Amino acid sequence: MDRVAVYPGTFDPITNGHIDIIRRSVPLFDKLIIAVNDNPNPAKPYLFSAEERVEMIKEAVSTSQKIEVESFKGLLVQYAKRRGAKFIIRGLRALSDFEYEFQMYLMNRKLNPELEIIYFMTSQQYSHLSSSIIKEIAKLGGSTINFVPSVVEKKLLKKFGY
Ligand code: ADP
């Protein structure tokens, strides 16, 4: 039976921290679906459209038969079921991630007790990285080249008119 995992996130935009989680999880599964959340979030509007976020990931992640990238709308548990995935991948940075991730974990397990949700601890060199801080740096004209794939750096420069 195929071991299918979904790595969901907003990926607005994808960073080297996300790439690290992808690289480490790929060997553990037959298929890894990188699922770009396209649910509207008025509290935190997206900088990039779902199509742009998917495109950047496709360019940044080396092509492999085992990796798929697409956007999804609606509940994650329903999406995972549709895609035949029994595993969800998430990443954990500081303690501040823990409370939110733990709540989501408990709720998703209530919604589908068969789903196994697996957490990767961040690698130390990426522990400070978040999409939000990258957008802040780019907006203010700083260089993001050490933190994101080059396709993302180019897109950020364009987006903010540098
Ligand atoms: P979401 O809005 O769903 O949290 P993100 O794109 O911000 O989407 O993150 C997707 C997942 O990747 C989350 O589990 C997040 O904790 C994890 N993640 C993000 N950045 C890092 C990083 N630098 N190291 C490890 N995990 C990370």
Residues 6+ away with beta carbon under 8 Å from 41: 10
Percent of the chain with pLDDT over 70: 100
- Over the stretch 11-24, which tens digit does the pLDDT of each residue have? 999 999 999 999 99
Ligand 1 site: residues with CB under 6 angstroms? 9-11, 15, 17-18, 21, 37, 90-93, 97, 122, 126, 129-131
Closest Cα to residue 152, out of 63, 59, 19? Answer: 59
pLDDT at 28: 97
- Decide if 131 is catalytic: yes
Residue 62 scores a pLDDT above 90: no
What is the whole-number distance in angstroms between the Cα of residue 7 and the centre of ligand 1?
10
Q: In a mutational test of the pocket of ligand 1, which residue from 16, 76, 90 has the highest number of ligand atoms less than 8 Å from its CB?
A: 90
Q: Which residue has tokens 């601890």?
A: 121
Q: Which atom from ligand 1 is nearest to the alpha carbon of 129?
A: 23
Q: What is the mean pLDDT of the chain?
A: 96
Sorted by where each starts, the structural domains of the chain and their CATH numbers stand as 4-159 (3.40.50.620)
- Decide if 18 is catalytic: yes
- Decide if 81 is catalytic: no
Closest Cα to residue 104, out of 132, 129, 83, 92? Answer: 92
CA distances to 22, 42, 145, 151, 158 from 154, rounded to whole Å, are 21, 26, 9, 5, 6
Nearest CA to ligand 1 atom 27: 91
Residue 86 scores a pLDDT above 80: yes
Tokens of 68: 């798929």
What is the whole-number distance in angstroms between the Cα of residue 65 and the centre of ligand 1?
23
DSSP state letters, 48-111: S-HHHHHHHHHHHSPP-TTEEEEEE-S-HHHHHHHTT--EEEEEE-SHHHHHHHHHHHHHHHHH
Tokens of 87: 């595993």
- Decide if 44 is catalytic: yes
